[in-house]
Structure formats: structure tokens, C-alpha cells
């Protein structure tokens, strides 16, 4: 049990720095002061959280300040698209 606790703590702490490198998900209200700059798409995500993280990373690579998820689909290998905003 202790090994599982330590393992999950290490995985969580390791993932934290990567979360700050991704663009932020935006709501429709937050996009009013930004301009749309294109779309990004990803595939192979394990779940919705993973899909959102991958879309955020890809948006950040494109120089986006944020993104809005347009679509998400799939079961075990999810794919989705997002509009990026700069």
C-alpha cells in the first residue's frame, strides 16, 4: 500500500510542471478579447483529461494563449479538435 501511495505521489508531482506549459482552456466569455488563430487536433488520448492536456500542449506550441475544445470522440483512443486563441 505504501508503495502505491509513493508511486501516485511521484506521478502527480512529476506531471505538475507539464501542466503549466500548456495553454489554458477558455470559456466563450474569455475569448471576447482574443482573436481566433486556427485549430489544433490530437489523437490517442486515454481519457478526456488527457485529451484536454494534449490539446493544451499543442496549442501552446502554436503560440496560443488559450483554446476552446470543439469536439471530442472515441473510447479508449480519444481524438479531438480545439480552436486556439492568441
As a 3-state breakdown, the chain gives helix, strand, coil percent values, each rounded to 5, of: 40, 35, 25
Rounded to two decimals, the pTM is 0.67
> What does the pLDDT profile of the chain (86 residues) look like in tens digits?
555 444 444 444 444 444 444 677 776 556 677 889 999 999 999 999 999 999 999 999 999 988 999 999 998 899 999 999 98
Q: Domains for the chain: give ranges and CATH numbers.
A: 2-85 (3.30.1660.10)
User: What residues contact residue 37 under an 8 Å CB cut-off, 6+ apart?
Assistant: 62, 63, 64, 84, 85, 86
Question: Which pLDDT belongs to residue 1?
Answer: 53
**Residue 73: helix, strand or coil by DSSP?**
strand
Question: Which pLDDT belongs to residue 30?
Answer: 63
Question: Which pLDDT belongs to residue 73?
Answer: 93
Amino acid at each position: 500500500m505504501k508503495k502505491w501511495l509513493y508511486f501516485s505521489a511521484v506521478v502527480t508531482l512529476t506531471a505538475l510542471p507539464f501542466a503549466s506549459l500548456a495553454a489554458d482552456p477558455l470559456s466563450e466569455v474569455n475569448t471576447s478579447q482574443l482573436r481566433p488563430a486556427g485549430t489544433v487536433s490530437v489523437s490517442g488520448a486515454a481519457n478526456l483529461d488527457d485529451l484536454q492536456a494534449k490539446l493544451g500542449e499543442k496549442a501552446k506550441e502554436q503560440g496560443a494563449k488559450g483554446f476552446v475544445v470543439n469536439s471530442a470522440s472515441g473510447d479508449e483512443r480519444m481524438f479531438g479538435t480545439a480552436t486556439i486563441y492568441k
